[in-house]
Amino acid sequence: MPDKDALYIYGIVKNGYNWKYLGKGLNEENVCTLKEGNFSAFVHDCEEKPYISEDPNKIKELIIAHNKILNKAMKDFKGVIPLPFNTIIKKSENSAEYNLKKWLNDNKERLEKIWNKIEGKREYGIRIYCEQDKLIQEASDNTEIKEIEKNMEGKSEGLSYLLKGKASYKINEIVQNRINQFKQKFYDDVKTVADEIKVNVSRISISEEKDLLLALSILVNEDKVDKIKRILEKNKDFSFQLAGPFAPYSFAENEAKH
């Protein structure tokens, strides 16, 4: 591999090979391993500048190419410590190769800790959705709500308004409590199978009729994915999306060094 100004890094694996060809990466660049000690980085030569474009489709293609290398690494090396798109090691008074190897050696204990966590595992994304209208209807049928509505009969406009507000507040409280119960139940059930689990903050919904109940990232062995699916399918009142496998971005620390 010729010595250029910088090295673009896709990710890191343990017990890799020096100069092992992995495939075509960004812009069809040849990606090879660069080894130091027990760890190898997947790299290609590049200039000292990030890959940018005003064309969003081009950026999408570059990110897909980046992840394609990570996916291959996961298959070939039982895992990968992924680095973010546009992670670049530059040269200084020393070459980019020297700087990368020094960094791998200086961080070997931290890399060992991360590798022990993610080896043989994949990341999956889970989104669980509920029909909020259905939950509201169920809450509206609550005995306490019915009693409030009954008390509204024959009351003055002002008092009816106050009682209606009380009923609305109580419905929202019941719905929120039910949502929290469902979220905790799904979380606890998935946690019994997943090695690690993280809750993601999101409000993405499938449609206007369905709302996101819970968004999770999980780290799990491939042979446990079917068990995760069975857990999610147990309750027919909810729908879900299971996406993956992905390189374990959510569970590997950001090891980028620019």
Which of 120-129, 140-149, 222-231 shows the lowest mean pLDDT across its residues? 140-149
Q: pLDDT band at residue 30, thresholds of 50, 70 and 90?
A: very high
Judge whether 46 and 6 are in contact, CB under 8 Å. yes
Rounded-to-integer distance, Cα 202 and Cα 205, Å: 9
User: Does position 8 have pLDDT exceeding 90, yes or no?
Assistant: yes
Instruction: State pTM to two decimals.
Output: 0.76
pLDDT of residue 254: 52
User: Does position 141 have pLDDT exceeding 70, yes or no?
Assistant: no
pLDDT of residue 213: 79
pLDDT of residue 107: 92
Residues facing residue 196 across a β-bridge: 219
- Helices 96-106 and 108-118 cross at an angle (nearest 10°) of 70
As a CATH number, domain 122-250 is 3.30.70
Mean pLDDT of the chain, nearest integer: 81
CA neighbor of 42 nearest in space, from 62, 75, 71, 13: 13
Tokens of 80: 């990968």
Domain ranges of the chain: 6-119, 122-250
User: Does position 167 have pLDDT exceeding 70, yes or no?
Assistant: no
